[in-house]
Chain A
Amino acid sequence: MIDGTDVLETVNLGKRYRRTWGLQDCSLTIPKGRVAALVGPNGAGKSTLLRMAAGLDHPSVGTLRVLGESPNSGNGNLKTRVGYLDQERPIYKSFRVAEMLRFGENNNPNWNMRVAEEHLAQLEIPLRSRINNLSGGQQAQVALTLCLAKEPELLLLDEPAAALDPVAREDLLRILMRQVADCESSVVLSTHALGDVAAICDYVIVLAHSRVVLSNDTEYVLESHRILSAVHDGNLLPPPGVSIINNQSSARGQSILVRVELPIDDAQWHVERPSLEEIVLAYLRSGSPGARDRRSPDDDGSGE
């Protein structure tokens, strides 16, 4: 669509490093206003995708649109609309927190100092502390605060809560969610913590072997997957209209995680609802492209 209802749109996007592909055949759309999780094993292409979206890497093949624009067109405007944060936090260790804030203010036209100070007060991080003397968790929170104070329309976060203790991680995610509530920012974040995905993300993208194997609303993903189990010593055929994502069968029974189109009405199978974590794990294990499609295929969403 032309009005930019998608914050990220890729078509057959690929990134080739010398011999290997960092990302391949990546076609996806992330609608505006979502908190989207990018999940996959290390090396699946999550960081590659985020870096390209942030304009830090150039695609080898395919097309990429961020907030309706190409990040590689040398368009400086996009830089202020997108906030990117990775593990190498752009904070100067010898600076005080207040100095980092002033540095941010001088370098960003849309800087919101009130938001930054509010977040830091909430986290009980004193403005006069030197970055050096803060814990790893606090440094991550300062880095995120700096990113949020730009009030970007889209936040690209590469494992924002990795290596944080549970309380620090929860604080960080809450601040992020408050920003989403206040500024209606869209978020794309990569993570290994599947519990976080279920709590805060409403869109999920699973990458495996450099490809997209699942990309949809979490609500739809939950509603369209079931675990079917049966006590049966042969090979009971699954009900019609389901696709098997993962099969875990024992000598006397079968247990399959399936994608369903219609409610299952088959007395031979016991039907349960899997958690989002179970579904994502099933896709990661199978690694096969299964539910790549979206609920309603866009009628030619290109909009030149």
Chain B
Amino acid sequence: MTQKPPTIAYRLDPRSGVAPYRQLVEQVRRALVSGLLREGDQLPSVRDVVTQITINPNTVHRAYRELEYLGIAEGRAGLGTFITAHPSAALRSSERGSIEKELKDRIVEARDSGMSEEQISELIALAYRQNGDVRK
């Protein structure tokens, strides 16, 4: 088999307060939502990732274990880690559409009432943090 380009190219932001393995998990999730990754795709092997970016192999293992736990991927012995279909892993498109519309309407409303883009983003970030900080 010839060398194929990786299905996903990870990035790591060492200045983020988000643990590196979570950054990888998030990137896989986003790639699923955007269609960059699909069911049956093979994720790059730990060794390939370590060759591409400066990252601890344990971090990649940890991320893949987490993806398995979340039902997004599965490890197949001797073959690698593959994306599995899971409706809850990626938002269903109908659901996504309605959330998008709702958000848009609210943002237009906020803008019409005189809020700046910055103020609106700040408000969203704040609401997100207040509800999103408590995990598990």
Contact = CB atoms under 8 A, between A and B. Distances in A.
Interface of A: 33-35, 170, 173-174, 177-178, 180-182, 195-202, 218-219, 222-223, 263-265, 270-278
Contacts of A222: 17-19
Contacts of A198: 14-15, 20
B55 A195 contact: no
23 contacts: A34-B58, A35-B56, A177-B56, A180-B50, A180-B56, A180-B58, A181-B50, A195-B14, A195-B15, A196-B14, A196-B54, A197-B14, A198-B15, A199-B20, A201-B56, A202-B59, A222-B18, A263-B133, A263-B134, A263-B135, A264-B133, A272-B17, A278-B17
B56 A273 contact: no
B90 interface: no
B56 to A, nearest CB: 5
B16 interface: yes
A134 to B, nearest CB: 22
A275 B15 contact: yes
A174 B51 contact: yes
B15 to A, nearest CB: 5
Main secondary structure of the interface of A (DSSP, over half): helix
Interface of B: 12, 14-21, 46-47, 50-51, 54-59, 62, 126, 129, 133-135
Contacts of B135: 263
Contacts of B51: 174, 178
A219 B21 contact: yes
Contact of B54 (A200, A219, A270, A275): A200
B19 A219 contact: yes
The 3 closest A-B pairs by CB, nearest first: A273-B17, A198-B14, A181-B57
A180 B58 CA distance: 9
Contacts of A33: 58
B77 to A, nearest CB: 18
Nearest to A172: B54
Contacts of B18: 222, 273
Contacts of A177: 50, 54-57
A195 B12 CA distance: 11
B58 A35 contact: yes
Contacts of A199: 12, 14, 20, 54-56
A173 B55 CA distance: 9
A239 B59 CA distance: 32
A180 B129 CA distance: 36
A198 B22 CA distance: 13
A202 B12 CA distance: 14
A35 B65 CA distance: 19
A35 B57 CA distance: 10
Residue from B21, B54, B133 whose CB has the most chain A CB atoms within 10 Å: B54
Contacts of B133: 263-264, 271
